[in-house]
Structure 1
Amino acid sequence: MADTNNKITEHDVVYAGGDKKIHYLAAGPVNGPLIIFVHGWPGTGITWKAQLDAFAGVGFRAVAPDMPGYGGSSTRRVIEDYSQEAIVEGMMALLADTGRDAAIWVGHDWGSGVTSSVAIQHPETVKALATIAVPYHTIELGWKGFLPLVDRDLYPADKYEFGQWDYMKHYEESFEKAVEWFESDVPGFCKAILQRASQPTGRFSTLSATVRANNGWMGIPKPPPVEATGPASLPPDVYDSFVADMQKTGFWAASAYYMNHERNAKYNGDGRKLTQPVLFIHAAWDLIVETKTSRLAEHMRQSVSNLTEATVEAGHFAQWEKPGEVNAALFRFIVEELPSEWPGFWNQGYTKRKALA
């Protein structure tokens, strides 16, 4: 945990007429500038611990929810609960529970889709947006947001119709089977997905582009056992908490995010042009959400008037593999683009003096 002044505390907010709940973690001074970290698939609030500690330590009010379907939040087996419209309702309830009307929003993976949806639907609540691995103006728009941007030199349409997103089609065609595979060995899968990435020698994602052809992930009947993989990229205490959460909830609700592309497209339409400061952090070694050499970031660049891009040499879970570099990119972005959101706003005698001639 953080030091005694920045201890991570647990909170719950009930919404949707009392039918749903979001559990979230918070650290740092209650009146500090608010920054909200939104995890993706899979994850829980505690997987942002490195960010909660770092940002609380310099005076931010740092918040990280268990997203619907995960941890201590609602995990109903209702597909529509995991549409962007339903998730954004939860995010507005979370924001209201902090006592604020706006925040800096940081998302990763599906969390990037969620924070992007917040920016589209409630731009007044977004002081700045930062997404990791998944660009704005992609996944939150349904299939149309990312499928047209597949690199057809790598994934010819006649052989790989859905490109590296073939695994998403597997969810739509065989949802229960997909979930059953993850749940056949939750600790084994969690440890496997938490392996540190290495620099790839190519850009083709055999893993994700051949899921349906292999009749499931990797063509094996269940995830590799925990003893078959190396150390996880999360610290041991965070990793143990994350795995325990996933064993408790399973993967049904978490995976239902992938079953709402049509609803999400209808909800978010063609997106919105953003004028707020936006930071995109490329995960350079990510083969599935490949943004460095593909066109995947193209629509974001056309839709954001104040865009900063940074690159971290890590796999998809960059904030777990290289938290220091991700935190540094976020800190620099805030200092340069939103100095008034820096804790204290340098109002305690900060003075720059020019050298004498």
Structure 2
Amino acid sequence: MQSPANGHTDTTALSHVPRHEIVSHTISMQGHRVFYLSCGPQDGVPVVLVHGWPELSWSWRHVLSHLGGMGFRAIAPDMRGYGRSQVYDDPAAYALRHQVADLTGLADALGLKRAVWVGHDWGAPAVWSVASHHPDRCHGVANLCVPYRTLEFGMEHMLPLVDRTLYPEDSAPYGQWAYQRFYVEQFDRATSVMEADVLCTVRALFRHGKPEALGKPSPHADIFRNGGWFGGADKAPDLPLDTRVLTETDLAIYTDALSRNGFRGPNAYYLNDADNAAYSATALNGGRLDMPVLFLAGRYDITCESVDSRLAEPMRESCRNLTERIVHSGHWMAQERPERVHLELTRWLLTKMPHLVPDDAAPTP
């Protein structure tokens, strides 16, 4: 089902859709095309779910059904460069300021004055930036894996937070963030390897978290030493599908989208550190967040390690009403442990914003 180009959804057509059913839409905003999924009643409190690299709105499939079933109006867009949203050739088009404009523009087009915003991976700095630059648009914000005041300021800003017991400065100067520097220095190499066999790339990337990896360096730290992704190979390894994270249907959806658009747009998100830092420096209230904030740390996410390292310290200093929870998952938290993510989101909403929770809230299994 598509929304008209002027951005107004056909509420009559949607009124008969079961509130746990996910519906597809496409909308055009001043020439910028956004594809998004929605679930739940049109008059429900909006929750906007923002995916990261290299994902899709489909990454939120479990959360969409859960929130829609509770009576929220859950909305998940394909971010620019992904899926069926607009793709741009210029790497500068993927700076945070444009991501935020897309999200607030989508909210305007759908008539959403305020929302609960939820992000993961690159979706987290986008959501943090909505909160810091447009706090009046936020009931509250929740993010998975990437703490506040880290990635939105760029790699150099995160280096002082690196655990140097795991990543000695002489042998691993960029720590676990070396892969981000690799995009800057060898963008074409990184992109061509990922595009060489997209099916294998997706299977290789989407793996569950492993407890035995705790306390060990992230493989991303060795990317320069190896000569690139996947140990320096020219394509991703041919691994079996990790069914703890994706089904065959999910694999096909990701593979189709990334084959159609390629990885240049998604990878270009890493090329805008200077612009992102300048934009983040203009945040209101010095970047301090006063609304309810939830952060879910992935216990086995050894790259965005936020439990034992100092990575979350800037967030703790900048959020007045912060709730932190640990989910025993790897990086793909909402897909690996959806039930736990549902529980933590629901508990936070009921505790911090009970007035937003529908009286007849009945989450789907």
Normalising by structure 1, we get a TM-score of: 0.92
Corresponding residue number in structure 2 for 1:10: 24
**1:256-271 counterparts in 2 under 5 A?**
256-269=268-281, 271=283
Is 1:332 the counterpart of 2:344 in the alignment?
Answer: no
Q: Which amino acid aligns with 2:28?
A: V
Q: Deviations over 1:162-204 (max 9, x none)?
A: 1000000000001111100100111101011122222134423
CA distance, structure 1, for counterparts of residue 245 and residue 258 of structure 2: 16
Are residue 49 (structure 1) and residue 61 (structure 2) matched? yes
1:150 has 2:162 as partner: yes
Aligned to 1:32: 44
CA distance in 1, matches of 2:275, 2:43: 37
CA–CA distance in structure 1, aligned partners of residues 165 and 264 of structure 2: 34
- Aligned residue for 2:79, secondary structure, equals coil
CA distance in 2, matches of 1:205, 1:257: 24
Note the 1:206-285 alignment, pairs <5 A. 206-217=218-229, 218-226=231-239, 228-231=240-243, 233-269=245-281, 271=283, 272-285=287-300
RMSD over equivalenced CA pairs, Å: 1.6
Structure 2 residue 295 is matched with structure 1 residue 295: no
Q: Following the alignment from structure 1 to structure 2, what is the Cα–Cα distance between the partners of residues 178 and 193?
A: 14
Task: State the alpha-carbon separation in 2 of the partners of residues 319 and 230 from structure 1.
Answer: 15
1:102-146 deviation line (CA, Å, top 9, x unaligned): 100000000001001111111111110101000111111223442
- Which stretch of structure 1 is more off in the superposition, 3-12 or 155-164? 3-12
SS at match of 2:274: helix
- Write out per-residue CA displacement over residues 24-82 of structure 1, whole angstroms, 9 at most, x where no aligned residue: 11110000011011000011111211001111001000000001110000111111110
Secondary structure of the corresponding residue to residue 310 of structure 1: strand
In structure 2, what is the Cα distance between the partners aligned to 1:274 and 1:94? 22
Instruction: Could you list the structure 1 runs, at least 4 aligned residues long, displaced by more than 6 angstroms after superposition.
Output: none
What corresponds to 2:172 in structure 1? 160
Q: Distance in 2 between matches of 1:200 and 1:102?
A: 42
| Number of residue pairs the alignment of both structures matches | 341
Where in structure 1 are there 5+ consecutive unaligned residues?
347-357
Displacement of 1:278 in angstroms is: 0.3
Residue in 2 that maps onto 1:66: 78
Residue aligned with 1:325, SS? helix
What one-letter code is carried by the residue in structure 1 that aligns with 2:189? K
CA apart distance, 1:231? 3.2
Instruction: State the identity as a percent.
Output: 35
Taking the aligned partners of 1:233 and 1:302, their CA distance within structure 2 comes to 33
The normalised TM-score by structure 2 is 0.90
Q: Deviations over 1:212-261 (max 9, x none)?
A: 111101222210125x4543612332332222111111110011000001
Opposite residue 319 of structure 2, the aligned amino acid is: V
1:180 aligns with: 192
Q: How many Å separate the matches in 2 of 1:133 and 1:253? A: 22
| Distance in 2 between residues matched to 1:47 and 1:248, nearest whole Å | 18
Equivalent-residue separation in structure 2 for 1:267 and 1:124 (angstroms): 18
Note if contact 2:244-2:336 (Cα within 8 Å) is conserved in structure 1: no
Partner Cα separation in structure 1 for residue 214 and residue 69 of structure 2: 39
Q: Which amino acid aligns with 2:236?
A: P
